[in-house]
Structure 1
Amino acid sequence: MTGTDMRSETADSGPSGYAAARLRLLNEQARSGPPRRAALADLTDQWLSGLFTAGTEGARGVSLVAVGGYGRAELSPRSDLDLLLLHDGGDPREVAALADRLWYPVWDLGLALDHSVRTPAEARRTAGEDLKVQLGLLDARHIAGDLGLTTALRTAVLADWRNQAPKRLPALREMCEERAGRQGELQYLLEPDLKEARGGLRDATALRAVAASWLADAPREGLADARRRLLDVRDALHLTTGRATDRLALQEQDQVAAELGLLDADVLLRQVYEAARVIAYAGDVTWREVGRVLRSRAVRPRLRAMLGGGKPVPGRSPLAEGVVEQDGEVVLARAARPERDLVLPLRAAAAAAQAGLPLSPHAVRRMAAGARPLPTPWPAEAREQLVTLLGSGGPTVQVWEALEAEGLVNSLLPDWERVRCRPQRNAVHLWTVDRHLIETAVRASEFTRRVHRPDLLLVAALLHDIGKGWPGDHAVTGEVIAQDVAARIGFDHQDVAVIATLVRHHLLLVETATRRDLEDPATVRAVAEAVRSQGTLDLLHALTEADALATGPAAWSSWRASLVADLVGRVSAVLSGDVPADPAEASPTAEHERLALEAVATGAPVLSLRARTEPAAEPAGDPEPLGVELLIAVPDQVGVLPAAAGVLALHRLTVRTAELRALDLPDGVDGSVLLLDWRVAAEYGSLPQATRLRADLVRALDGSLDIAGRLAERDAAYPRRRGVVAPPPRVTVAPAASRHATVIEVRAHDAPGLLFRIGRALEDAGLRVRSAHAGTLGANAVDAFYVTGSDGAPLPAEEAVAVARKLEETLRG
């Protein structure tokens, strides 16, 4: 059906005809994007115009006006209809009757309606009081009635906007910033709001309003395409959900991607992020220009008076060869020649970051137009300027974004394209892959004083996740890419090897410290063999901390920092020639022996709770908590691990590390004692009393406390969020991780009682748990268990694999 046919049917059939024509239009596969939005607006115009004409019977002095998104003819399938009934102050009863004839048919069809009835004077007055109303009127479009009335209002509103721009634009900017603070940045969110988040459709509308003020204008390159892309995604979201929503939820992304003909949800998110990045960067540049213009207007009279009425000349301060500062921005010197000076983009970027100033978009555009590839290897100055840029701290981010906006980053580092705007489907990560790499370099710049080669640290920070743009293990792939990039930018063979080692093992320290038994000599030796030198160990320690801090608050804590520092100290000792002690030969502490003797004497568990802290980072600060140490001594028996873990889960205690071992008692003391040395933390509230924990542990061991039933009841009382499906658990065997035990790793969705279920499954398999190391990243638990057979020896390889497979099946069930 053509547009003419739909208009004819709408006019002839009334609301039902409009509804049928609207439904057919939305179901047309051949028409989508801007053509469908425009056709939907045109169809709605025709229907509303018919309602208006039937209700006015030729009366003058009244018109129907579309405002906001409808005024821009950008109707998504579930968009609101923003309408203004404009009148010249005639008979109020006639105006009210006309409004009823317009609004009720819209409501009857179930369409959302934002409506108002005003005279031109009332509309202007309301716009002057409410910025949102004024923004909507900037897009006012005539639908029906007195065209002169609509035109006069549009002219007056635009004139008011331009006259009031010096006061209104700062308020608009504040509104945008407040919204961004609430909604976050669209280009990094896993479930973004396409309209309200920073870089979304609201910001695109704000840029149109700035342009309408004639005070400043946004960079036009790619802006219209970015806005169109977000509107297309919103259309598909409305069609797949059947709701008027702007939030792109995880469970709906695959359907939206399919509606748009995209490969998968990752491709969808990447396109959304790219569009948001264009809009956000345009906003940064535009608001900076608005600020510059407003400042110049404020100081111009004073300057002219000081200079005798002459025109002031902006000052230019040199920053580096070919680079100057002018009016709060970094620009190119008049004599600069980007087509000849190959290092100029890096030199300008480094100078801007060090000065804490933005790069002028005109300068970046000029450098991009004249840029030629650097030779391989890079000149020494180019490498030094890159390191200077990466080591400049927070200002590096905005400078890097300016380079990316004009494609300069991809020309310098072609491998960057693979990670640009790439989403990370892990709630622990705050950023996309590329932004995370820059954030890691920013964090690493804080640690350059504690390593012998800060340049290697900064480049490794920039490249440590570069392999995420390729299939397979990103650390393994990244090592190869890092070798190539490091050699290309001019590092020698030895430095290239160090950077590659840092990238290959950037997760080694934190994973080992939180998932391995540090008392096992094999653990420490494996790390020492990987790093090979004290200098590389120091660099890896700094990179580990920078990477975790740049990931998000869930990835780093005082507890993790203390574990990593402990591991680094042990590895450092091995690298200096010390031999780690065998844990089997370690003597129990006096505290451990006291608890063990008491457990033997009473024949029951004995508990000790003790807060653990580390010195404060600042001399006058309070000690930082590392959690609470829970010591439990129990006469040797089966079921200790699941019983203890279950009791802790019932009391809402999170287990951070767990170690179990049999203690050798002094001569003359009969019996065997298991010692559990755990670090725990309360999920919320205060810690329970040790006496209550002990009482419940006694009941759990004698079978009178049904832990499984109690945990099931609590789980049923807190139903899971609809639509959220956790990935299945994965259980693997870590070969050669220990000479004393078999190491089984469990990765699963964290839930109350998970450690209890694992412990019970291992006990049911007839295994002895020597130690356990529990860790949580976001919603994911990553636990490692050192187990032996009943004879105290590691399991044969085939038996270990079978145990892992059985445990995985149990957890899936």
Structure 2
Amino acid sequence: MTDWTLPSRRIPKQRAIIDRRALGERVNELADELGEKARQPIVEALRESLDAGRSELAKRLSEKPSAGHDCTAGHAFLIDQLVRVIHDYVVAHVYPVHNRTKAERLAIMAVGGYGRAEMAPHSDVDIAFITPMKRAPWCEQVIEAMLYVLWDLGLKVGHSSRTVSDTMKMAREDLTIRTALLEGRLVWGDQDTYEELRATFWNDVVKGSEKLFLTQKLEERNQRHKRMGDSRYVVEPNVKEGKGGLRDLQTLYWIGKYTHRVDTAAQLVDIGLFTTQEYRSFRRAEGFLLAVRCHMHVLTERAEDRLTFDLQRQVAERMNFADRPGKSAVERFMQYYFMQAKRVGSLTGVFLSHLEEETSKAKVRSGFFAGWGQKKRELKGYVIEGGRIRAPSDDWFKKDPVRLIEIFQLAEAEGVEVHPETMRQAGRDTKLITAAVRKDARANALFLDLLGGRNDPETALRWMNEAGVFGRFVPDFGRVNAQMQFDMYHHYTVDEHTIRAIGLLSQIERGLLKKDHPRATRVIHKLASRRALYVAVLLHDIAKGRGGDHSVLGAEVAQKLCPRFGLDQKETDLVAWLVLQHLLMSSTAQKRDLTDPKTIEDFVGEVRSVERLRNLAILTAVDIRAVGPGTWNSWKGQLLGELYDAAQERMRLGHKRHGRVERVNAKKEATTELLGDKGYLVADVGEMLADAYWIAEPEDIIAKNLIQYEEARRIEDHLSIHCEPDEERGATLVSVIAPDHPGLFYRMAGGMHLAGANIIDARIHTALNGYAIDNFLVQDLHAMPFREAPQIARLKEGIRKALMGEGELVPKLAARPLSHSRAKAFKVAPGVNFDNMASNNFTVVEVTARDRPALLNRLAHALYKANLIVQSAHITAYGETAVDTFYVTDLTGAKVTVPERLAEIEEELLEAASDRKQRQLEKA
């Protein structure tokens, strides 16, 4: 047999893990001494050996924290010895047979990860019990007895029990069974039965089905990647199933073994699928990923495969990663993790492409690569065949290193893939990219053409990054390669986020995202320099991880790089400004009151020109959307649109206040038309509402408010609550009209939180006759509107009970679970900032804190206790961090400016926002 079937060969000091002979003797002694009463003591003896073995392997892992192969092989060895002892005990003492018939033969085979001898501490034990023919009663009894003992040991056993012929029949029909048998390894029992199964499998099942197996495995892999986010750069990766994870490496084993009958990964070099260097790289990546998975199992004491934020810190510490200037230990660990995942992806691509060529099966392509079947042709010395471009010789890049850029530019322009051999060649030759190549005008022109490509620059840039050419040509980009951002907001590493943003920009330019980004789709074709915007998107996060403000540092990088790329001074200045201010528009739109004229004045004062505004709006959209799934929604789109339109109008008309009366009158006319028969409400009720209300609220909401107000006056308690889903805004509109009184806002917020609602915007108005007219936009815990009747009924009931003072809000709110408990893995120091310059009429209070249940309610309550009146609230969540902004005045309607008073308010808000306060409430 090969070393594939005997993993124990590579395990040092085996008896320190488990001494099978001593354990077997102990089990026999107990069986002889106690007879039928021996079972429980025997299970205890086995459990002691299992626990001791696991402790020894955990100790070895702590001493050599990157020794993944040793740890997983050790656990497989431990289970092997236990299975052997259990089998011998059952056949000798429980169901002894002195002269077995041909039917009374049993082979115990390890399959799956156990068969491959790659077992993390809490992996499933996958066993196949094989008999040569129809199972005799004795075989069934032995199998059942063994399984009960394994279960009593607390092991999670995946098992099957079949004859050789049944196994072959099922293997022909089921890919999973075929794959499991591929890794089958005899643990104990009848050798002849195992050899019969092995020979039958290779001769009757595998032979002739190699192409089908390859096709099915590739499709299985693609479907798995889609389920896992289709990126190897998600910030909470699945170490086993995710893209670039262990399953991708295992797929190579399976396909290599099936198509070439190799028994070890090392033999992939012998058949030419890997070079010796690539195999070493393969083993390093595999060993690291196995080690990470083992640490996760030890830490959680279960089969955990998702590397969550809380585990990342702990695994980084166990694997001896340390803090460095600008980068924490966990960020360095995760950067190394993603480098290994990237290596897995590169090796997988080369390996599979070789196999595809061997089997002469064209790769199925998607997108603009679909349908390629062209004849061989030449282009600038390159060969294009079968939808792939390749270098014509092994020294092609050495003769002219600029070709390392050109190959990817041509691939994008021609809509073809880069041949895997050429990808391998480019990766090998990246060292040819010297300072001289980086300064080369032709190389930079080619790079700009690629960056702003008209087909699919995202895909070509990703290939360029995978080959290592991108980071070598733009070293500043290389510094953020595989760099994660340790928070719950960003879903991808910095380089992946950037490449995705460039792809989104290209899609907007091609009109593919018109529904979600109509304004950006229109204005992108009015830009003075499209290439400047592409460069700005490339550089907007380029300085992350340097220990300072990445916007400021990034602007400095832009001033240096843009001239090298070939941009003129005007374009360079625009790019540097966009990088410096790339967060300005999203921050203003989400954290400031867009109906306050000062907000628009300040924003326009910074932006200054329509050209900058257009570029910034598009950059903001792609930056938010590239953060990850669900980060872009219609509400954010609407806020950005309102800010864009207001800023553009301010630039066109001059001072915003000049049109204030005209805007109010226009709103009243539009609302009168919307109301139809009830148009009289604009005159009757509208006079009691200040101009600020008319400017703040859209016509459709004003019309609903006026009708609701008329109804509230007729109700006995004068309290009216109206809720309806607003698909355009991506939220549910909640309008509450009631006689105003102190604490109204914080009570409403508490009632909504109790009903499971997250408030994303709040506008508070008080009519001249003392009625509060408050409009909220709320979403459920999945950032979706409340649509179902029971949901809306619960929302209304929660608000009404809170306003009526039914029940204690504080303990109920504290008992609600946080929608994403993973936030507890992060430390967010609460902070309070006061700004008396951001508004002419209000003090703007911005509170940053770790997101948690009813944070808004507690902050609003603190403002109420501080005798402040809230005019509007704007709620922004960045993963685990919440930023809540309030426009407030004191009881006289004036700003709060006295330093001592501000200090008192800050203290109250920090107390409300602190984790300590949350723990006190939970205990209460």
- TM-score tier, shorter chain, comes to 0.7 to 0.9
Deviations 1:526-564 (A, max 9, x none): 323333332222111110111122223533233322322
Q: Distance in 1 between matches of 2:849 and 2:206?
A: 56
Q: Distance in 1 between matches of 2:423 and 2:764?
A: 60
Residues 733 and 801 of structure 1 are in contact (CA less than 8 Å); yes or no, is this contact kept in structure 2? no
Q: Distance in 2 between matches of 1:244 and 1:684?
A: 36
Residues 203 and 279 of structure 1 are in contact (CA less than 8 Å); yes or no, is this contact kept in structure 2? yes
> Which of 554, 564, 574 lines up with 2:640 in the alignment?
564
Q: Distance in 2 between matches of 1:236 and 1:686?
A: 44
| 2:342 counterpart residue number | 277
Structure 2-normalised TM-score? 0.74
| 2:254 counterpart residue number | 209
| 1:641 counterpart residue number | 745
Residues 554 and 778 of structure 1 are in contact (CA less than 8 Å); yes or no, is this contact kept in structure 2? no
Task: In structure 1, give the amino acid aligned to 2:630.
Answer: A
Deviations 1:418-461 (A, max 9, x none): 32222334444332221110111111122342422111111111
Distance 1:553 1:173, change over 3 A: closer
Task: In structure 2, give the amino acid aligned to 1:9.
Answer: A
> Which of 11, 14, 26 lines up with 1:13 in the alignment?
26
> Which of 70, 74, 97 lines up with 1:35 in the alignment?
70
Q: Distance in 1 between matches of 2:611 and 2:818?
A: 50
* 1:429 counterpart SS class: coil
Residues 234 and 491 of structure 2 are in contact (CA less than 8 Å); yes or no, is this contact kept in structure 1? yes
Q: Following TM superposition, by how much is the alpha carbon of 1:83 offset from its aligned partner in structure 2, in angstroms?
A: 2.8
Q: Distance in 2 between matches of 1:760 and 1:183?
A: 41
| 1:266 counterpart residue number | 331
| 1:795 counterpart residue number | 896
Q: Following TM superposition, by how much is the alpha carbon of 1:744 offset from its aligned partner in structure 2, in angstroms?
A: 0.8
* 2:476 counterpart SS class: helix
Q: Distance in 1 between matches of 2:832 and 2:49?
A: 57
Residues 165 and 213 of structure 1 are in contact (CA less than 8 Å); yes or no, is this contact kept in structure 2? yes
Residues 124 and 156 of structure 2 are in contact (CA less than 8 Å); yes or no, is this contact kept in structure 1? yes
Please give the root-mean-square deviation of Cα atoms over the aligned residues, in Å: 4.2
> Which of 787, 795, 808 lines up with 2:910 in the alignment?
808
Task: In structure 2, give the amino acid aligned to 1:177.
Answer: N
Q: Following TM superposition, by how much is the alpha carbon of 1:76 offset from its aligned partner in structure 2, in angstroms?
A: 2.0
For structure 1, which segment, 357-366 or 334-343, has the greater mean C-alpha deviation from structure 2 after superposition? Answer: 334-343
Task: In structure 2, give the amino acid aligned to 1:236.
Answer: H
| 1:757 counterpart residue number | 858
Q: Following TM superposition, by how much is the alpha carbon of 1:716 offset from its aligned partner in structure 2, in angstroms?
A: 3.5
Distance 1:522 1:124, change over 3 A: same
Q: Distance in 2 between matches of 1:641 and 1:353?
A: 55
| 1:229 counterpart residue number | 288
Note the residue ranges of structure 2 that are not aligned, 5 or more in a row. 1-11, 28-44, 93-97, 261-270, 323-328, 364-372, 510-523, 672-681, 690-708, 918-924
Deviations 1:247-270 (A, max 9, x none): 334333333333333344434433
Q: Distance in 1 between matches of 2:807 and 2:659?
A: 34
Q: Following TM superposition, by how much is the alpha carbon of 1:22 offset from its aligned partner in structure 2, in angstroms?
A: 1.2
* 2:887 counterpart SS class: strand
Distance 1:510 1:136, change over 3 A: same
Structure 1 segment 730-741 matched on structure 2, within 5 A: 730-734=831-835, 736-741=837-842
Structure 1 segment 311-330 matched on structure 2, within 5 A: 315-319=375-379, 321-330=380-389
Q: Distance in 1 between matches of 2:160 and 2:732?
A: 61
> Which of 297, 301, 304 lines up with 1:242 in the alignment?
301
Q: Following TM superposition, by how much is the alpha carbon of 1:506 offset from its aligned partner in structure 2, in angstroms?
A: 1.1
| 1:346 counterpart residue number | 405
Structure 1 segment 266-415 matched on structure 2, within 5 A: 266-296=331-361, 315-319=375-379, 321-334=380-393, 337-370=396-429, 371-375=432-436, 378-392=439-453, 395-415=456-476
Residues 377 and 487 of structure 1 are in contact (CA less than 8 Å); yes or no, is this contact kept in structure 2? no
Distance 1:144 1:768, change over 3 A: closer
Residues 476 and 543 of structure 2 are in contact (CA less than 8 Å); yes or no, is this contact kept in structure 1? no
> Which of 485, 504, 510 lines up with 1:424 in the alignment?
485
* 1:106 counterpart SS class: helix
Distance 1:737 1:673, change over 3 A: same
Distance 1:389 1:649, change over 3 A: same
For structure 1, which segment, 536-545 or 94-103, has the greater mean C-alpha deviation from structure 2 after superposition? Answer: 94-103
Q: Following TM superposition, by how much is the alpha carbon of 1:236 offset from its aligned partner in structure 2, in angstroms?
A: 1.0
Q: Distance in 2 between matches of 1:10 and 1:325?
A: 64
For structure 1, which segment, 134-143 or 38-47, has the greater mean C-alpha deviation from structure 2 after superposition? Answer: 38-47
Task: State the identity %.
Answer: 26
Residues 844 and 886 of structure 2 are in contact (CA less than 8 Å); yes or no, is this contact kept in structure 1? yes
Q: Distance in 2 between matches of 1:45 and 1:525?
A: 74
Q: Following TM superposition, by how much is the alpha carbon of 1:244 offset from its aligned partner in structure 2, in angstroms?
A: 2.6
Residues 171 and 178 of structure 2 are in contact (CA less than 8 Å); yes or no, is this contact kept in structure 1? yes
Residues 750 and 780 of structure 1 are in contact (CA less than 8 Å); yes or no, is this contact kept in structure 2? yes
Residues 391 and 442 of structure 1 are in contact (CA less than 8 Å); yes or no, is this contact kept in structure 2? no
Distance 1:797 1:163, change over 3 A: farther
Distance 1:20 1:709, change over 3 A: closer
How many aligned positions are there? Answer: 780
For structure 1, which segment, 280-289 or 473-482, has the greater mean C-alpha deviation from structure 2 after superposition? Answer: 280-289
Note the residue ranges of structure 1 that are not aligned, 5 or more in a row. 299-312, 614-622, 666-670
Deviations 1:327-377 (A, max 9, x none): 221212459831232331222112212333321121122234343225376
Distance 1:795 1:625, change over 3 A: closer
| 1:113 counterpart residue number | 157
Residues 445 and 565 of structure 2 are in contact (CA less than 8 Å); yes or no, is this contact kept in structure 1? no
Distance 1:149 1:566, change over 3 A: same
Structure 1 segment 453-532 matched on structure 2, within 5 A: 453-532=529-608
Distance 1:738 1:217, change over 3 A: farther
Within the alignment, does 1:143 sit opposite 2:154 as a pair?
Answer: no
Q: Following TM superposition, by how much is the alpha carbon of 1:493 offset from its aligned partner in structure 2, in angstroms?
A: 3.3
| 1:3 counterpart residue number | 14
Q: Distance in 2 between matches of 1:775 and 1:292?
A: 51
Task: In structure 2, give the amino acid aligned to 1:266.
Answer: E
Within the alignment, does 1:769 sit opposite 2:769 as a pair?
Answer: no
Q: Distance in 1 between matches of 2:87 and 2:583?
A: 67
| 1:439 counterpart residue number | 500
Structure 1 segment 136-175 matched on structure 2, within 5 A: 136-159=180-203, 160-175=205-220
Q: Distance in 2 between matches of 1:417 and 1:491?
A: 21
Within the alignment, does 1:657 sit opposite 2:761 as a pair?
Answer: yes
Q: Distance in 1 between matches of 2:188 and 2:199?
A: 17
Q: Following TM superposition, by how much is the alpha carbon of 1:208 offset from its aligned partner in structure 2, in angstroms?
A: 1.1
Distance 1:42 1:555, change over 3 A: closer
| 1:545 counterpart residue number | 621
Deviations 1:109-151 (A, max 9, x none): 3223333344433332232222212112212223345545434
Residues 596 and 673 of structure 1 are in contact (CA less than 8 Å); yes or no, is this contact kept in structure 2? no
Distance 1:641 1:495, change over 3 A: same
Task: In structure 1, give the amino acid aligned to 2:494.
Answer: V
Within the alignment, does 1:595 sit opposite 2:595 as a pair?
Answer: no
